[in-house]
């Protein structure tokens, strides 16, 4: 792998097109390249570094999916394909009203965005929004793929039941306000203690939402920095679908840990299950350079109309015998400005989404 070409491709795509960005590139468990460029906080001349933290947006869904599989592997007799026929009670507070159309809902339906749930309250992931959505039921009796944060937000309130945080009778008698806070704290602490702590070089100081010292980075409408940066909305209570605030290097260490079973059991099939079923993953495909290479990726972003951020990670693995890539390739790119499509001087549209940049970067280095 020619890492100089990989880095050059990322830099040429991002430099001058966002206020700040950072990347981290791994082969196997080894960090090969990482750097940050531009400004984390333009107003204060704070540089964007490789260890600058920012909201991850929807690439945090991969963390949630890993937590769900970990909880099932260590605490449940049921699996992802089991219908929640005893639901509620096994996975949610027993007193919650659940629409009859959800009687056959499976965990995998949520993890693959095939639940058909009807989001209410603008899909903000609060406990009240989740509760009302479950009461409203499915959009159809035979739902197709429908990407919505609600599917993953449900796991923030389900995780205490999945991981058996306490006796069900104790969880069931909590009021909504108490359970909202309890489930959010439990979700964060469960992931920190059982997943992130088992990875390399991820300190316990990583945060969710707007907790911890601020700002890590602000979000901009590039190149209009004179308008100032903004912070994203507080995602603490929507942590099931995102909300994690980490650096590119720290998130890369999580993906590396996931792929090397750092927090699953030795013979776990969790990574294979995640890639086969696309759990917390947007897509699986082959590369342009070699059809034998399998590529998985996830993107995420947030924006208030102008200011915002985009994040992405990709993972590449060669399944062929006598592979030229015996160790898995992992890359993460984070930007604090919306990075999308641009029109070049030739009037040809070029896709600059982070996941496309990372794919092109990998292929340039092969």
Structural domain ending residue among the three candidates 191, 218, 244: 191
**Same-domain status, 211 and 184:** no
The distance of Cα 223 from the centroid of its chain, to the nearest Å, equals 27
Q: Would 294 be classed as within a structural domain?
A: yes
pTM beyond 0.85: the answer is yes
**Same-domain status, 301 and 327:** yes
Q: Would 61 be classed as within a structural domain?
A: no
Q: What is the pLDDT of residue 348?
A: 45
**Token pair for residue 125?**
């992931």
**Same-domain status, 114 and 34:** no
pLDDT in tens, the chain (366 residues): 889 999 999 999 999 889 999 999 999 899 999 999 999 999 999 999 999 999 999 999 999 999 999 999 999 877 888 776 666 667 888 888 888 888 788 899 999 999 888 787 765 678 888 999 888 888 766 678 888 899 999 999 999 999 998 888 898 899 999 999 999 999 999 999 999 999 999 999 898 877 666 668 999 988 888 888 998 888 888 888 888 999 999 999 999 999 988 999 888 889 889 999 999 999 888 777 676 778 899 999 888 878 899 999 999 886 665 555 557 889 999 999 976 554 444 444 455 788 889 999 988 888
Q: What is the pLDDT of residue 78?
A: 77
Burial readout 321-330 (b: 16 or more C-beta within 10 A, e: otherwise):
eeeebeebbb
**Same-domain status, 129 and 223:** no
N-to-C CA span, the chain: 5
Contacts 24+ apart (CB under 8 A), 95-103: 95/172, 96/131, 96/134, 96/135, 97/131, 97/134, 97/135, 98/134, 98/135, 99/134, 99/135, 99/136, 99/137, 99/138, 100/137, 101/137, 101/138, 101/141, 102/134, 102/137, 102/138
**Same-domain status, 74 and 52:** no
**Same-domain status, 344 and 207:** yes
**Same-domain status, 275 and 319:** yes
Which of 274, 312, 311, 267 lies closest to 294, judged by CA?
274
**Same-domain status, 154 and 285:** no
* Total domain count, the chain: 2
**Same-domain status, 230 and 335:** yes
Q: Would 223 be classed as within a structural domain?
A: yes
Q: What is the pLDDT of residue 346?
A: 46
Cα–Cα distance, 202 to 129 (Å, whole number): 32
Structural domain ending residue among the three candidates 139, 160, 191: 191
Q: Would 11 be classed as within a structural domain?
A: yes
Rounded to the nearest 5°, which phi and psi values hold at 7? Answer: -65, -40
Structural domain ending residue among the three candidates 169, 191, 213: 191
SS3 for the chain is CCHHHHHHHHHHHHCCCCCEEEEEEEECCEEEEEEEEEEEEHHHCEECCCCCCEECHHHHHHHHHHHHHHHHHHHCCCCCCCECCCCCCCCCCCCCCCCHHHCCCEHHHHHCCCCCECCCHHHCCCHHHHHHHHHHCECCCCCCCCCCHHHHHHHHHHHHHHCCCCCHHHHHCCCHHHHHHHHHHHHHHHHHHHCHHHCCCCCCCCEECCCCCCCCCCEECCCCHHHCCECCCCCHHHCCCCCEEECHHHHHHHHHHHHCCCCCCCCCCHHHHHHHHCCCCCEEEECCCCCCEEEEEEEEEEECCCCEEEEEEEEEEECCCCCCCCCCEEEEEEECECCCEEECCCCCEEECCHHHHHHHHHHHHC
What residues make up the domain containing 265?
A: 3-56+201-365
Q: Would 196 be classed as within a structural domain?
A: no
Q: Would 234 be classed as within a structural domain?
A: yes
Measured over all CA atoms, what is the biggest interatomic distance in the chain, rounded to whole angstroms? 65
Q: Would 185 be classed as within a structural domain?
A: yes
Give the number of other Cβ atoms within 10 Å of residue 103's Cβ: 12
**What CATH number corresponds to the domain at position 22?**
3.40.710
**Same-domain status, 210 and 347:** yes
Q: What is the pLDDT of residue 244?
A: 93
Q: Would 211 be classed as within a structural domain?
A: yes
Answer for the pair 200, 192: CB distance below 8 angstroms, yes or no.
no
**Same-domain status, 244 and 120:** no
**Same-domain status, 219 and 182:** no
CA angle 190–193–196, rounded 5-degree value: 100
Name the β-bridge partners of 343: 349
């Amino acid at each position: 792998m020619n890492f100089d070409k990989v880095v050059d491709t990322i830099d040429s795509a991002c430099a001058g097109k966002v206020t700040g960005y950072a990347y981290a590139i791994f082969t196997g468990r080894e960090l090969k390249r990482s750097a940050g460029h531009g400004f984390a906080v333009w107003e204060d001349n704070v540089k964007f570094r490789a260890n600058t933290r920012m909201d991850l947006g929807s690439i945090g869904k991969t963390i949630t999916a890993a937590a769900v599989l970990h909880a099932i592997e260590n605490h449940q007799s049921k699996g992802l394909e089991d219908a929640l026929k005893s639901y509620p009670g096994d996975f949610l507070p027993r007193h919650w009203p659940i629409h009859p159309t959800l009687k056959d809902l499976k965990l995998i339906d949520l993890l693959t965005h095939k639940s058909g749930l009807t989001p209410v309250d603008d899909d903000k992931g609060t406990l009240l929004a989740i509760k009302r959505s479950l009461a409203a039921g499915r959009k159809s009796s035979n739902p197709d793929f429908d990407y919505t944060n609600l599917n993953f937000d449900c796991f923030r309130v389900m995780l205490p039941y999945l991981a058996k945080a306490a006796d069900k009778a104790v969880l069931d008698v909590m009021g909504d306000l108490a359970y909202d806070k309890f489930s959010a704290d439990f979700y964060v602490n469960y992931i920190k203690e059982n997943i992130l702590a088992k990875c390399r070089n991820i300190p316990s100081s990583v945060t969710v939402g707007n907790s911890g010292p601020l700002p890590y980075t602000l979000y901009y409408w590039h190149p209009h920095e004179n308008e100032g940066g903004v912070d994203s909305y507080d995602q603490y209570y929507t942590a099931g679908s995102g909300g994690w605030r980490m650096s590119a290097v720290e998130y890369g260490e999580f993906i590396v840990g996931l792929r090397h079973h750092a927090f699953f059991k030795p013979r776990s099939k969790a990574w294979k299950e995640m890639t086969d079923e696309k759990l917390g993953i947007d897509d699986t495909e082959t590369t342009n350079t070699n059809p034998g290479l399998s590529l998985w990726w996830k993107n995420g972003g947030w924006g208030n109309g102008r200011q915002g951020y985009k994040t992405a990670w990709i993972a590449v693995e060669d399944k062929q015998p006598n592979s030229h890539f015996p160790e898995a390739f992992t890359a993460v790119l984070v930007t604090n400005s919306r990075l999308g499509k641009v029109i070049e001087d030739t009037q040809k549209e070029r896709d600059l989404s982070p996941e496309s940049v990372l794919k092109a970067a990998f292929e340039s280095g092969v």
